[in-house]
Amino acid sequence: MATFRLKFEDGLRARGLDLTHDLSQPAEAVLVIGGTRDLLPLWKARRRGAHVVQRLDGINWVQRARWTGPRYHLRAEYGNLLLAFIRARLTDGVVYQSQFIRRWWEDWYAPASAPARVILNGVDLQRYTPEGPSDLPADKFRLLVVEGSLAGGLNTGLHAAARLTGMLAAERKFPVELVVAGQVDKKTQADLPGRSRAPIRFLGRVPREQIPALDRSAHLLFSAEINPPCPNSVIEALACGLPVLGFDTGALGELVAGDAGRLVPYGGDAWKLEPPDVPALIEPAMEILNDQPRFRRAARARAEDALGLDRMVDAYLSALFGS
């Protein structure tokens, strides 16, 4: 949400629009990014005539598929109730990040009574670009994972990435390494390298301004999130000309089209976090790694065609002001 907010605010300022985070201030429109605990101020803003639009991400679900501890479980369920209440009672419009998210919400909580639309996330195509500094290695292939958090119950995809990298090294004799950017718990950092025959480097959280160079320094992005709503890491990678590999869950199929990357069936019940079909990733990974120019061109073209920041901001302004 922080990534989206910063991008959206930049787009508003570029158009000369005033914005505030204070619900007590007069406003023509209010965008609720996910949810807020300030329900009374939000209700008052709506009563004053502000057009309230809620932007919805995915629903917290991992706690229903595996035990994540009491604190995470309670916070996740409380978050779902808060989001659903705002959607049902306090909005004049709803924006879903993808068709996948729209179907998910309507399946779990029924269609919203307010008008709804889908707006894919976007990226600054001038900042995220194939041109610029990088340290793309020439003696090995670098697989990259970029996520905000891969800790605890969110690390299923990370284990798949490590297994894939090890299989490429051991079975296909590819010189590969796995680089992971994002929060990873200490136990996983200690255990995972011993389960792979390829090197794994953990970078921790990487500052946002370093992401373009990081994307350019890899040969392939592995999308590690299961059932992703509309992952910014994938959109940013495509804009930098980095092809994407992953399982065909969530909204990935709406983002990765043509030769921008390759998606394969999960091979089990992703909603139950059953083990995925990692061997199915090997051939698509090799295809991408062996034909980098074609896939890198297609990745950038996909971002230019459908995932630009200006397109996204214009669509949100239409939702907010009814134009």
Largest alpha-carbon pair distance within the chain? Answer: 65
277 and 316 in a common domain = no
Q: Containing domain of residue 73, as a range?
A: 2-122+308-321
CA dist 278 and 166 (Å) reads 11
185 and 59 in a common domain = no
159 and 180 in a common domain = yes
221 and 167 in a common domain = yes
Q: What is the CATH number of the domain that holds 14?
A: 3.40.50
Total structural domains within the chain: 2
In a domain, 133, yes or no: no
CA dist 48 and 189 (Å) reads 51
What is the reported pTM?
0.92
Residue 115 pLDDT: 95
Q: Compute the average pLDDT of residues 133-152.
A: 89
Residue 185's Cβ-side half-sphere holds a number of Cα atoms within 13 Å equal to 11
Q: Is the CB of residue 303 less than 8 Å from the CB of residue 238?
A: yes
> If pLDDT is split at 50, 70 and 90, which confidence band does 7 have?
confident
Residue 315 pLDDT: 96
196 and 264 in a common domain = yes
Per-residue pLDDT at 152 exceeds 70? no
CA dist 288 and 219 (Å) reads 8
What share of the chain in percent tops pLDDT 90? Answer: 82
179 and 39 in a common domain = no
Q: What is the CATH number of the domain that holds 217?
A: 3.40.50.2000
